[in-house]
Structure 1
Amino acid sequence: MNLRKKLRKSQFNPDNTVQEQQDASIKQPIEQDRLSGILLENEQVLKTIYSDCSDVVFRSFLIGHRTQACLLYIEGMSNTEEIDKSVLTPLMQQDILNLSDIQTVLSEKIVVSKVTQANTFQEIIQQVSAGNPVILIDGQAKAIVTGLAKMEKRSIEEPIAESVVRGPRDGFTETLKVNTTLLRRKIKSPKLKIKSLSVGRYSQTQIALFYIEGLADQSLIDEVNNRLNRIEIDGILESGYIEEFIEDNSFSPFPQILNTERPDVAASNLLEGRVVILVDGTPFALIAPTTLYSLFQSAEDYYQRFIIGTLIRWLRYFFLLIALLLPSSYVAILTFHHEMVPTTLLLSVAKSREEVPFPALIEALIMEITFEALREAGIHLPKQVGSAVSIVGALVIGQAAVSSGLVSAPMVMVVAITGIASFAIPRYNAAIAIRMLRFPIMFLAGTLGLLGIMLGLITIIIHLSTLRSFGVPYLSPMAPMKGSEMKDVLVRAPWWSLKTRPRLTGNYNQYRQPNGQKPDPSKGTD
């Protein structure tokens, strides 16, 4: 039965699994075959696979003026200067008497730090796609892989979304090897382990799973590894793809996996027993498991004095309540609970709303939607005009809306304060979740008043209580309560008092430092 008949049969057979259909329609069986000892056959197979690929170079040459060989690489992904200097020149000038000397010559004359072998066409394709040139030799059923990949990469810069006043200025890039090096610079212990895998049928994206042996629980490592291995998709272009495939609850607005561009944040989470996932092609690393309180913590909290870190953390929680509840509270009070407002303030607000034709709920929705549109426009427009559009647009539209009588001045102030409060949330994906939840709470406030706000809050708390991140309760350590871990939730305790790590799993390395670390100059030195 030919391939076309197999495809037709698979389309109408409901018993065939998705994987069987994919294998029949996508995989080329020849890619799994082993190399033969005949160079022309191997070269013809690879030219068939790379047909219509003008950037793939097949460079034929003679090893020692006697043995036929072919060098295969992708132009722009390999270091051609090193290929000429360290591979072609020594091999073409070396005098070889018989084939038995080839392995010796390859090991002694190729001046490349990393040389491996490939036995199948699939291995060759993976290596060539990674930028490593491959040498095919007549009479040899193995190909020689040289580690001479060279691709353009962005320089290491400070992350824009996670900038700090005090702290490291380096950030992850789109190159996996560079990101691995940045983590190795933070944690130099050989206990830092890396598991690599490839995901994506066409993209073949390299993914690295990082953990510290002895700190991360083995069950957590196995669970993350199993979820990654279950992914079957055409391509992975960003770590957001991975996040959606491995999170516990896909329909929750709250992120259950932390993402960061900062190597110091990734390293600190590794030291607490978590795992870090790096994806080639994106600067955003994934950290699992995570909790709700991790989303409102900044790297700078741990670099400033603990008193300042605690104060700033309290301000963030206060801004969180403002960003979530201020417009709803304003709508509920003006619609149902006038007695809660002082008379003078109520008369001032009523005077400003005399010409407004809409109820408070519609007025709030108009302003919130306008503000969100301006914010998105400022993000996606070029930098030169984005900030100008967002600032000038807000001023002009706000003033025009008040002058025309569509909205009141107090409502403009409420929306502006709410927007500023949402900017104080350090994690962008957490801020988006709060912005999303603001709208249904406003509808509840406009229909049921403060009772609706309470119902909305209770629903959110119940939802958060049911969430898990790789088995870890999302509200941990607040619910369930773990008193020893509360030192890094509502407050940022001094480092000398943070003796234990977060309890993420049942088996974990509890202590991160011994007792007696509190500075005490009166004790002196031994």
Structure 2
Amino acid sequence: MQNMKNDIPADIIELEQLLEEALNGNPNLIAKYVVLGQQTAAIYYIETLVDQDLLQRDIIQPLLTFVDVPSINETERFPVAGIVEVKVIQSVAEMLLLGWVYLHSDDSRFNFLLNVYRPPNCSFSKAEIESQVFGPQIAFNEILRSNIALLQMYLPSPNLCQENLEVGVEIKTQVAMFYIKNLTDNELVKRVRDRINSLEIDGVVSSAQLVQLIEDNKFTIFPQFVMTERIDRTSYSLSEGKIVLFVSGSPFAIVCPSTMMDFFSSAEDHQVRWNMATFFRLLRVGAMVLSLLFTPIYVAALTFHYEIIPSAMVVPLAESRTRVPFPPLMEALFLEITIELLREAGARLPTKIGQTIGIVGGIVIGQAAVQAGFTSNILIIIVALGTLASFITPIYLMGITIRIIRYPIIILAGFYGGIGIMIGICFLVIHLLRLTSLGQPYLYPLYPFRKGDLKDSILRLPFSFLRERSMFTHGDDTFRFVEQETVSSHGDIDE
């Protein structure tokens, strides 16, 4: 991090320039001036973090009662929670990001920070879509100002840069772009800025619409940017050198660029032990493979490859299919579409009714379908496991993608058997190899292969192994922390 411990200058104009430089041009930095006798007092604060009522009542109004610039002995006339004298610009910048107000006089007799911090006062709800046990439970909401304040509260860093952009000709939609200086590649920042500024559209009303307008590939079914409602995932992504976008009126932050493994990583993975997190990540990847291939293998085995069925399962399979008049392909498609209808109906109905429809409907329709001879009971188990596996992915859009990709692979398995499955997998892998996110490879670090970056992608090694940052975003600062010698844990008890 750049060391900016400059002494505070007396000149107000020079001071303001240094503050803007220290805060990397934060657009929420506000400056107000009050003339007291022959001197001018300047008031600096971050608009989104300060209670405006307290600022007016406890700082500006008492300040107007002074005939001259107040001294250190007169600060008790400001009824605030805390008053601190400062000497360097860096301290001022850091405290401004914590919700303090800085008072300065042009003769440098008055250099004080006063605490009028206001936590975000809108009603933040618990994260519903990306729920987890450990970590922050708060989620973003539809108010852009509140989301910005929440992010600044979790990341009080002067290097957190914010750029305010505008999208839309008829409907002016505000977009806030965040990144951390020295951690994010300037070329990526420029690419996102140019793509947003080049949009000529009536208006954008959600983060999902903006994603579809600025992504690399408009025709792929795979999501190329992570959309999250969680503050911890957003903060960690910024610390990894990624860019975060907030759209006014949308409760989801856009994280870009993203790799495919980002969609199988949960924010909770950094809250639990490394071996637990590694197990969960491997479980999610295995669940994706299971969801994609379980039903196609069933269709291919019963249509072309009876020899791969274990001998102990031949009789149960034959008995379960004795009353089914359809070929395995039609049987599988019927049951897969039925499951999707139940899922979609449960999602669109009110919460309590939707849960009832999903549970009761699945049991009743499944049992009735077996008794009526539309499907076999073994296929019901297979389809249910495949559907359940698709819900393990932490990002909802990737789960939908997996379920949709399953259909062409099932059809290929029904027409060409195992060869059809391999054709589908080969097309899928080729497509993923060609896919990019903001010009970055989608399958990173598997392609191009980066052994060092596997430690926090498919795996999650201990934090002591994560000293070097991922090269995915090509930031200038390549180290998370500096290694230090630790005290040996094998000393004598008496030491």
Normalised to the residue count of structure 2, the TM-score between the two structures is: 0.74
Of 206, 210, 224, the residue aligned with 2:192 is: 224
CA contact (8 A) 2:188 2:438 kept: yes
CA distance in 2, matches of 1:508, 1:215: 6
- 1:450 corresponding residue in structure 2: 418
- 1:359 corresponding residue in structure 2: 327
CA distance in 1, matches of 2:143, 2:475: 34
CA contact (8 A) 1:209 1:277 kept: yes
CA distance in 1, matches of 2:425, 2:486: 40
- 2:256 corresponding residue in structure 1: 288
Shift of 1:509: 2.1
Shift of 1:283: 0.8
Structure 2 unaligned spans of 5+: 1-52, 62-119
Shift of 1:523: 7.5
- 1:196 corresponding residue in structure 2: 164
CA contact (8 A) 1:402 1:409 kept: yes
Inter-CA distance 456–371: structure 2 relative to 1 (3 Å threshold): same
- 2:266 corresponding residue in structure 1: 298
CA distance in 1, matches of 2:475, 2:236: 19
CA distance in 2, matches of 1:475, 1:283: 28
Task: Output aligned runs, 1:116-135, within 5 Å.
Answer: none
Shift of 1:520: 4.6
Task: Output aligned runs, 1:52-451, within 5 Å.
Answer: 155-451=123-419
CA contact (8 A) 1:402 1:408 kept: yes
| Residue-by-residue CA offset, 1:7-60 (whole Å, 9 max, x unaligned) | xxxxxxxxxxxxxxxxxxxxxxxxxxxxxxxxxxxxxxxxxxxxxxxxxxxxxx
- 2:80 corresponding residue in structure 1: none
CA distance in 2, matches of 1:519, 1:419: 50
Shift of 1:521: 2.9
Shift of 1:203: 2.3
SS at match of 1:235: coil
CA distance in 1, matches of 2:121, 2:210: 22
CA distance in 1, matches of 2:486, 2:287: 32
CA distance in 2, matches of 1:336, 1:519: 64
Inter-CA distance 227–462: structure 2 relative to 1 (3 Å threshold): same
For residue 311 of structure 1, what is the amino acid of its counterpart?
F
The structure number with the bigger radius of gyration is 1
CA distance in 1, matches of 2:155, 2:389: 35
CA contact (8 A) 2:242 2:473 kept: no
Of 462, 477, 484, the residue aligned with 1:509 is: 477
Shift of 1:337: 0.8
For residue 213 of structure 1, what is the amino acid of its counterpart?
K
CA contact (8 A) 1:273 1:508 kept: no
Shift of 1:469: 0.7
Inter-CA distance 309–372: structure 2 relative to 1 (3 Å threshold): same
CA contact (8 A) 2:241 2:475 kept: no
For residue 384 of structure 2, what is the amino acid of its counterpart?
A
Inter-CA distance 215–506: structure 2 relative to 1 (3 Å threshold): closer
Structure 1 unaligned spans of 5+: 1-81, 91-151
CA distance in 1, matches of 2:151, 2:397: 24
CA contact (8 A) 2:182 2:475 kept: no
CA distance in 2, matches of 1:309, 1:153: 34
CA contact (8 A) 1:496 1:517 kept: no
Inter-CA distance 280–523: structure 2 relative to 1 (3 Å threshold): farther
| Residue-by-residue CA offset, 1:473-505 (whole Å, 9 max, x unaligned) | 001111111111010122111111101111124
For residue 341 of structure 1, what is the amino acid of its counterpart?
I
| Residue-by-residue CA offset, 1:355-404 (whole Å, 9 max, x unaligned) | 10000000000000000010000001011200000110010000000001
SS at match of 1:521: coil
- 2:34 corresponding residue in structure 1: none
Shift of 1:195: 0.2
SS at match of 1:195: strand
CA distance in 1, matches of 2:488, 2:122: 46
Shift >6 Å, 4+ stretches: none
CA distance in 2, matches of 1:488, 1:189: 24
Inter-CA distance 240–153: structure 2 relative to 1 (3 Å threshold): farther
CA contact (8 A) 1:497 1:518 kept: no
Inter-CA distance 314–432: structure 2 relative to 1 (3 Å threshold): same
CA contact (8 A) 1:501 1:510 kept: yes
CA distance in 1, matches of 2:164, 2:202: 19
SS at match of 1:286: strand
| Residue-by-residue CA offset, 1:200-247 (whole Å, 9 max, x unaligned) | 223211110000011111111010000010112112111111101100
CA contact (8 A) 1:375 1:390 kept: yes
| Residue-by-residue CA offset, 1:114-149 (whole Å, 9 max, x unaligned) | xxxxxxxxxxxxxxxxxxxxxxxxxxxxxxxxxxxx
For residue 389 of structure 2, what is the amino acid of its counterpart?
A
CA contact (8 A) 1:331 1:446 kept: yes
CA contact (8 A) 1:378 1:387 kept: yes
Normalised to the residue count of structure 1, the TM-score between the two structures is: 0.69
Shift of 1:514: 1.8
- 1:480 corresponding residue in structure 2: 448
CA contact (8 A) 1:239 1:285 kept: yes
